[in-house]
Structure 1
Amino acid sequence: MGILFSRPGRESSSLPAGAFAAGNISSLNSSSIVPYLGVNTGLYSAPLPPIPLEWIVSPSKIDGSCPNGAQILTWFAITDAIITVLVPLFAYRPFVHWITRSQLGKRKKNSVAFTWTITFACQLTANAIVAGLMGSTYNTLSMLHIFTVFISRPRFHPIIVGLLRCIVFAKRPRDWDKSTIIKRSNDDRVEFPYTDAWIATSISELLLLLISAIFTGVTWNRLPSDSKAREYASDHVSFMSSTPGIMFLGMLAFVPVYKRYGEAYPIEGRRYETGRHWGVTISSDGRTRVGVKKGKNKTTLKRVANAVCATLLLGYVYLVQWAYWTRYLEMTGALFCPTKMIQSGAVWAIFTLFATIDRNTVWQNRGSKGNTTYKTEFLFSEQDMKGKKIVITGAGRGLGRALAIVAADRGAVPLLLGRSLQALEQVRDIIQSRSGVSAATIVCDLSNTSSVVNAAEQIASSHPDIDILVNNGAHFTDGAFQNQTYSQIVSVINSAVTGTMILTKDLLPLLKQRPHADIHNVVSMSGLPHARLTGASLPFRAAKAAQDGFTQGLVEELNGSPVRITSVYPGLIEDVSPTDEAWGLKRGLSEGITNKDVVDTILYALCAPPNVSLRSIVIERTHSDFLV
Structure 2
Amino acid sequence: MNQLKGKTVIVTGASGGIGLEIARLAAEKGARTVLLARSLAKLESIQAELAEKYGAEVYVYQLDVSDANMVEQVFKKIFDTVGEADVLVNNAGYGIFKEADQTDAKEAEAMFRVNVLGLMACTNMVLPAMKRRRQGHIMNIASQAGKIATPKSSLYSATKFAVLGYSNALRLEVMEYGIHVTTVNPGPVETNFFSIADESGSYAKSIARFMLKSEEVAAKVVGAMLTNKREINLPGWMNAAGKLYTLFPGTAEFFGKKAFFKK
With normalisation by structure 1, the TM-score equals: 0.34
User: How many Å apart are 1:427 and its aligned residue?
Assistant: 1.6
User: How many Å apart are 1:606 and its aligned residue?
Assistant: 1.2
User: How many Å apart are 1:591 and its aligned residue?
Assistant: 4.7
2:156 maps to amino acid: F
1:487 pairs with 2:106: yes
Q: Which residue is 2:125 aligned to?
A: 506
User: How many Å apart are 1:623 and its aligned residue?
Assistant: 7.1
Report 1:555-574 matches (<5 A).
555-574=171-190
1:521 pairs with 2:140: yes
Q: Which residue is 1:451 aligned to?
A: 70
Paired residues, number:
227
1:614 pairs with 2:229: yes
Q: Which residue is 1:433 aligned to?
A: 52
1:390 maps to amino acid: V
Relative to structure 1, is the Cα distance of residues 453 and 607 closer, same or farther in structure 2, using a 3 angstrom cutoff? closer
User: How many Å apart are 1:482 and its aligned residue?
Assistant: 2.7
5+ residue gaps, structure 2? 193-208, 246-263
Q: 1:592, 1:623 → 2: CA distance?
A: 11
Q: Is the 8 A contact 1:555 1:565 kept in 2?
A: yes
1:594 pairs with 2:210: no
Report the secondary structure of 2:177's partner residue.
coil
Q: Is the 8 A contact 2:134 2:177 kept in 1?
A: no
1:538 pairs with 2:154: yes
Q: 1:460, 1:417 → 2: CA distance?
A: 14
Q: 1:526, 1:417 → 2: CA distance?
A: 24
**Cα deviations by residue, 1:435-493 (Å, 9 ceiling, x for unpaired):** 01131111111112222121222122222332100111113222222333433211110
More strand by share: 2
Identify which range, 475-484 or 595-604, moves more after superposition. 475-484
- Provide the alpha-carbon RMSD of the alignment: 2.1
Report the secondary structure of 1:395's partner residue.
coil
- The match for 1:554 among 170, 173, 176 is 170
Q: Is the 8 A contact 1:591 1:621 kept in 2?
A: no
- The match for 1:412 among 24, 27, 31 is 31
Q: 1:398, 1:462 → 2: CA distance?
A: 26
Q: Is the 8 A contact 1:421 1:442 kept in 2?
A: yes
Q: 1:457, 1:520 → 2: CA distance?
A: 20
Q: 1:478, 1:526 → 2: CA distance?
A: 12
Q: 1:451, 1:481 → 2: CA distance?
A: 31
Q: 1:553, 1:387 → 2: CA distance?
A: 30
5+ residue gaps, structure 1? 1-381, 577-589
User: How many Å apart are 1:511 and its aligned residue?
Assistant: 2.1
With normalisation by structure 2, the TM-score equals: 0.79
The structure with higher relative contact order (CA 8 Å, sep 6+) is 2
Identity of aligned residues (%): 26
- The match for 1:575 among 178, 187, 191 is 191
**Cα deviations by residue, 1:17-38 (Å, 9 ceiling, x for unpaired):** xxxxxxxxxxxxxxxxxxxxxx
Report the secondary structure of 1:555's partner residue.
helix
Q: Is the 8 A contact 1:400 1:472 kept in 2?
A: yes
Q: 1:546, 1:591 → 2: CA distance?
A: 25
Q: 1:624, 1:501 → 2: CA distance?
A: 25
